[in-house]
Amino acid sequence: MSLVSACLLFFALYTYSPFLLFKVSGCVIVHPNQKFEDFALDLKEKATYFSLGLFKLYAKLIGLDQHLQVGEYCFSRHTSLAGVIFRLKHGKRELHKFTVVDGWTYSEMIQQLNKASMLNISSHMNDPAFVAQALNVEKNSLEGNFYPSTYYYAYPDTALHVLAQAHLLMQKKIAYFYSECDDKVSVASPEILLIMASIIQKEANDPEEQRIIAGIINNRLKHHMKLQIDATVLYGLNRYSLSNVRLNKQDLQTDTAYNTYLHLGLPPTPICMPGETAFYAVAHPHETSYLYYVSKKNGKHQFSETLEEHNKAVYRYWLSNRKEGTS
């Protein structure tokens, strides 16, 4: 075998065999404006059986040294040099995911977004006015404007990149469900659809119960009755993360724009990020004669047609145990 053949064989074996054994994480980052030589040194620190000269030669032959894409790249313990080069050349960045949960408020979403791994977080993210301007949201509130789903990103994507995906999907969902509303459903605008869906999302998790509650809200609005929904009151008191909480007299008498015990009609903005089933409930509510409902404290609700029936249900599920406990 000639010397040239031997060199070519060695090059092929080294390039395509799993000789690149990474230590610890197996991930390297190409930073913005980072020089190729500096990145190559970082890569060498992460690997064993690694020839810096061979890597730089291979990269130069295919132009990688001039077109290194910013990102985080992760490799298994047995990735060959060719595998490393392929991922770098084609920008196969490591993907991360962030999930917006049904029922989160905007504040809760931002808190979790600030904890997301490998996401570029601006110091302005806690300023709703900055986010609204950046995403071109022309509304009084950002509440409810980001659809619950899982979104993917890669370094150096920003938090605004994730929010833009969630906002765009929410706009599509609102438009879809607004166009799908039953003929008998009177929803004045897409914004009203969103507000109603957010209330239903906070009030119930069961899809069938959500549809019943949507019907009850419609009935109360038609009868010009105050909605008297605890979730809206809690939101107005900045206690939106609490559940199964019985409001006291002072809470119910605290005058906020979201106190539906004091004010007729819907609250001025959504109170959370509603999901698919909540939107469906507003678009396709159950036709019912119910006007009242109360939580059974087990995720389900008791529905009533009259105030007398409702008061009995309230006593059964909320007051009887309290009185027994104090006697």
Task: Tell me the per-residue pLDDT of 26-84, one tens digit each, with 9 for 90 and over.
Answer: 789 999 999 999 999 888 887 776 778 888 888 898 899 888 999 999 987 777 778 88
pLDDT at 326 over 60: no
Three-state DSSP state, 205: coil
* Residue 319, pLDDT score: 78
Q: How far is CA 177 from CA 170, 191, 202, 209, in A?
A: 11, 12, 19, 18
Task: Name the average pLDDT for the chain.
Answer: 87
* pLDDT (mean) for 208-221: 97
CATH architecture of 3-89: 2-Layer Sandwich (3.30)
pLDDT at 19 over 60: no
Task: Locate the DSSP E strands across the chain.
Answer: 21-22, 27-30, 47-48, 71-74, 96-99, 150-153, 292-295, 301-304
* pLDDT (mean) for 158-163: 95
Compute the distance between CA of residue 81 and CA of residue 79 in angstroms, rounded to an integer.
7
pLDDT at 324 over 50: no
- Confidence grade of residue 15 (pLDDT, cut at 50, 70, 90): very low
* pLDDT (mean) for 121-133: 89
Q: For the chain, where do the domains classified as CATH 3.30.1490 start and end?
A: 3-89
pTM of the model: 0.85
* Residue 9, pLDDT score: 40
More confident residue, 281 or 2: 281
Give the amino acid at 232. Answer: T
* pLDDT (mean) for 194-212: 97
